[in-house]
Structure 1
Amino acid sequence: MTLTRNWISITAAGLLLSGCSSALTQNPDSSADALRLPGNQAGTHASPWETRATGSRDSIGRKARANTTAPPEDLWQLSRNHFELNLESDNPRVASQIRYYSKHQDYLDRVTDRAERYYHYILQQIIERGLPAELALLPVVESAYDPFAYSPSRAAGPWQFIPGTAKHFGLRKTWWYDGRRDIVASTDAALTYLEQLNKRFDGDWLLALAAYNAGGGTVSKAIRKNTKKGLATDFWSLDLPSETEAYVPKLLAIASLVKAPADYGVSLRALAVEPYFAIIETQGQIDLAQAAKMADTSSEEMALLNPGFSRWATDPEGPHRLLVPIDSAMQFENKLASLPAEQRVRWNRYRIQRGDSLSAIAARFNISTAAIRSANKLKSNRITAGKTLLIPGPANTSLAATVAQDGAAGTREKLSYKVRAGDSFWKIARSHKVSVSDLASWNKMTPRSTLKAGQQLTLWRDSSLASSAQRETLRKVGYSVRSGDSLSLIASRFSVSVADLKRWNGLNKGRYLQPGQKLTLFVNATDS
């Protein structure tokens, strides 16, 4: 396994500019070579962290670039050094957003706390590509820097990719993994997308940003409309969706606050210039709870650094890498090197019983049928009683319970629940800290099935990282009813039940949905 350090100490980078090399202060025993970006050699070219001096602007508001050896005080200062957009506008739309954000110091504090884990990496990627540093603030607008953010349009992750766009840019979604939430993969995809949009709109970043929100076709259509009327085709002159017309001003307003917080009566907690995490290649699947223990960090921290993984382990198909706190990177790498491959994920042996189905076995062990087929090299879902299946499970036995059936070692404890009057899948799932989709699957039902008082349900209780992550990813989503929508259609789209939809919104049988009506839903982001 290889420790892939595609990060660099910004303090060290400042020294590189003056012809020196330096090791990270957190790890004084590291060699200077270990700190260089892949392919870099000391002194062969300028550091990717060199700052840009303020100067004249070109026709579309970009700053002229110049080098300086002054080391940044923190990441906010580094961002300012690399700002390129025109933030000196007194546009009323921007001013309105500045007034809003400047009145919500508590919101800025929360976003800063969330961003601390990811901002160094994202800013680094932006600077290395030669892009405006304001783009590092785009996740503030998109998701408030919450990697588990989920929207009514089914956009997910810090950069809020919708399923179609995510697929186009190679962000995979499996039972194990969602690339939209992966910090490394989603950042690469988002910056590539933004570069393409910037090129499409002839280097105009405001149009590119508008297209990121509304789609390139929408912006192009608005430009064509203005061109036919002989009107200006800059962002401020276009007739765009109201959300998009506010979207770009939001980013410019936040960048203005970062540029001169004191001018607007706000404060920004300093973000250290040192990397928060290191990226370590694992060469295969690994249990996340075990990885957290090896890195001497909490399971919650491991989940926040690796939000792309939806279950208790990394995806067996990859990506085979983990983000771990920078201070424990060497420790983790050393322990990983000495860990036998067969101990990275626990394998349970299950003897197939008469009447079993692959889907029922998968539900019992909280795993997908595809994962079982892959582990056992099965070409279909057909199984034979008496045969034995290998079922992957958490490697950390202290986190594993015992399946109370046939003495099979497993990862979950079987429970029985009697449905009461007023119960719903959502209510039962939330009280037992499981997902609605799992609860329905265990009982060979769908989240939209009707429950009856007295009905017996089967639950499998898990104390592993997976259930912990699921508890953290329940998101409140506001939805605006569209023409042609029905309760069943909306429920199906978000994998919830009609009964829950009615209960959350106080709906009754005699009331019809109206276009524009606002609904509230509670959605598990890892299942959507």
Structure 2
Amino acid sequence: MNMKLHLALLGALLLTGCQALQTDSDKNNLGSTVNVMSDYRSHATSALDRSESSYPYMWDRIAAEMQLPTPNDPDVIAFRDWYIKHPKYLRTVTERATPFLHLISEEIDKRQMPMELVLLPIVESAYNPNARSHGNAVGLWQFLSVSGQRYGLKQDYWYDGRRDVVSSTQAALDYMAQLNAYFGGDWLNSVAAYNAGEGRIQSAIDINKAKGKSTDFFSLNLPRQTMEYVPRLMALADVIKNAKKYGIDLPKVPNHPYVRLIDTHGQIDLRTAAEQANMSLPELKRLNPGLSRNTTSPKGPNHLLVPVGVADELELALAEMAPQKRMRSDSDLIAVGDDSNVSATGDGSRSQTASSIAVHHKVKRGDTLWTIASAYGVSEKDLMKWNRLTKKKLKSGQVLVVNAPVAAKKAKLAIAKANKSKRYEVRRGDSLTSIAEKFQIKVNDLVRWNGLGHNHLKPGQTLTVRLDDSGV
């Protein structure tokens, strides 16, 4: 292998976020394939039909269920050789993937998709649910904010569905099913499109067609990242299928469920749930990386991924738990708006209870109802009720009452963080969407903060970007 390719391999395998090449316009090109998800699910087969004893270990089962032939391509061979020479990498990835391998394999089986797709999170994120790329793609499957929303992944102050292993896997396979229908069953072009977007792949196919050339993946002229993306996946598949041949001793992960999704029956403090499950809080959070706080969201989703051995007992315990015991007084955030924590007053506003503290917030230049509500963990609707506002427009110096679900000191710290802003100079090729993605903000907010209206962006133009309390 030449030195340039060797260095490229090292860099590629350490970085995440391979889906960063995808664009919004690409994903809008799917057209009539949008309903193909139901077709895949309607052909689902029961996992119970397959005997676990046939393949006692996950990598053996995965190898046996792969469907795609290994291409005889120089890049595939180069990546394969790298994996063979670095067995520690596969051990590290397997350790991260262990709780989720069976769960994801089952979902792929149900949809009758190639089992090679269970390896895609290795290429995307090295099976790290908290991975974030330079382009702000997030999670095992590296969804951007906008694409995550398009595929039903909720993102708010409490929860990011892109990090939720179950939800993001469903979304990724939904998208992959659409891509496969769009490309007429060509899995390699579908996988390439997951990285670069179907518009870019279709354009390369159209160019080859016009020149009378083949339209298979290896014949297309694509960005280097995409040209390495598919070979990395196929090289991994080759190593897993032929581990003995290559002298690789794959970690023995038993072929049985490790985790199960349970209903929490409403908002729950994670420390309380962990105690009920006889787990540590870090252990529970590792299985539920989509939860951004030490509680589940007051507005859902109301589920937790937990070890199968405690799932039934924990689900029953949470169902029977008294409302006042579900949330601790020292929770990072306790939901205002949860009927168990607050009571309604005669005028429709909410009164302060032990789980909330009335905070007086003085409106500063640049504040909006959205930034204030987000920082305090409340809704814009409640802010308007508490202050009897009929319009969302605020004035500097105006004082708002906030029934904050945290101590006043913490709430003020949160709003101080929310008020941080920075200046961004527009570069050639920037768009409102790409800038919003970069800073994990909404396009509408970017437009409003800068009074853009329908004006086009110009290189060198300076924009104000207000940062949320995540420190982005």
Q: What TM-score comes out, normalization by structure 2 length? A: 0.68
Alignment match of 1:286 (pick from 268, 285, 290):
268
Between the aligned partners of 1:265 and 1:295, the Cα distance in structure 2 is: 40
Matches for 1:57-456 after TM superposition, within 5 Å? 71-87=54-70, 89-345=71-327, 346=329, 347=341, 348-353=355-360, 355=362, 367-370=376-379, 373=382, 390-392=403-405, 412=410, 441-442=415-416, 445-446=419-420, 448=422
1:374 positional shift: 8.0
* Conserved 8 A contact 1:93-1:246: yes
Between the aligned partners of 2:52 and 2:88, the Cα distance in structure 1 is: 34
1:329 positional shift: 1.4
* Conserved 8 A contact 1:180-1:308: yes
1:343 positional shift: 2.6
1:154 positional shift: 1.4
Between the aligned partners of 1:133 and 1:525, the Cα distance in structure 2 is: 39
* Conserved 8 A contact 1:306-1:323: yes
1:403 positional shift: 6.1
CA distance 1:108–1:524, shift in 2 (3 Å):
farther
1:108 positional shift: 1.2
CA distance 1:377–1:328, shift in 2 (3 Å):
farther
Q: Which amino acid aligns with 1:84?
A: Q
* Conserved 8 A contact 1:114-1:146: yes
1:366 positional shift: 6.3
Q: Which segments of structure 1 move beyond 3 Å, counting only runs of 4 or more?
A: 351-360, 362-367, 374-382, 385-393, 481-485, 489-496, 523-528
Between the aligned partners of 1:327 and 1:69, the Cα distance in structure 2 is: 18
Between the aligned partners of 1:129 and 1:492, the Cα distance in structure 2 is: 31
CA distance 1:273–1:372, shift in 2 (3 Å):
farther
CA distance 1:365–1:224, shift in 2 (3 Å):
closer
1:246 positional shift: 0.5
Q: What TM-score comes out, normalization by structure 1 length? A: 0.61
CA distance 1:252–1:219, shift in 2 (3 Å):
same
* Conserved 8 A contact 1:349-1:388: no
* Conserved 8 A contact 2:121-2:141: yes
Between the aligned partners of 1:286 and 1:369, the Cα distance in structure 2 is: 17
CA RMSD across the alignment: 3.8
Show the counterpart of 1:470: none
CA distance 1:258–1:354, shift in 2 (3 Å):
closer
Cα deviation per residue 1:133-174 (whole Å; 9 max; x = unaligned)?
Answer: 110110000000001111122111100111222121111111
Between the aligned partners of 1:344 and 1:233, the Cα distance in structure 2 is: 57
Using CA pairs under 8 Å that are at least 6 residues apart, name the structure with larger relative contact order, 1 or 2.
2
* Conserved 8 A contact 1:351-1:387: no
Stretch moving more, 350-359 or 319-328: 350-359
Structure 1: segments with no counterpart, 5+ residues: 1-44, 52-67, 394-401, 405-411, 415-437, 450-480, 497-522
Between the aligned partners of 1:208 and 1:344, the Cα distance in structure 2 is: 45
Cα deviation per residue 1:257-291 (whole Å; 9 max; x = unaligned)?
Answer: 11121222322111112211111112211111211
Q: Which amino acid aligns with 2:416?
A: W
**What SS does structure 2 have at the residue aligned with 1:116?**
helix
Number of aligned residue pairs: give it.
368
Q: Which amino acid aligns with 1:370?
A: S
CA distance 1:339–1:392, shift in 2 (3 Å):
farther
Q: Higher helix share goes to which structure?
A: 2
Between the aligned partners of 2:157 and 2:278, the Cα distance in structure 1 is: 27
**What SS does structure 2 have at the residue aligned with 1:140?**
helix
Q: Which amino acid aligns with 2:377?
A: S
CA distance 1:107–1:375, shift in 2 (3 Å):
farther
**What SS does structure 1 have at the residue aligned with 2:267?**
coil
* Conserved 8 A contact 2:45-2:109: no
Q: Which amino acid aligns with 2:326?
A: R
Show the counterpart of 1:56: none
CA distance 1:372–1:71, shift in 2 (3 Å):
farther
Cα deviation per residue 1:380-427 (whole Å; 9 max; x = unaligned)?
Answer: 578xx999865445xxxxxxxx767xxxxxxx599xxxxxxxxxxxxx
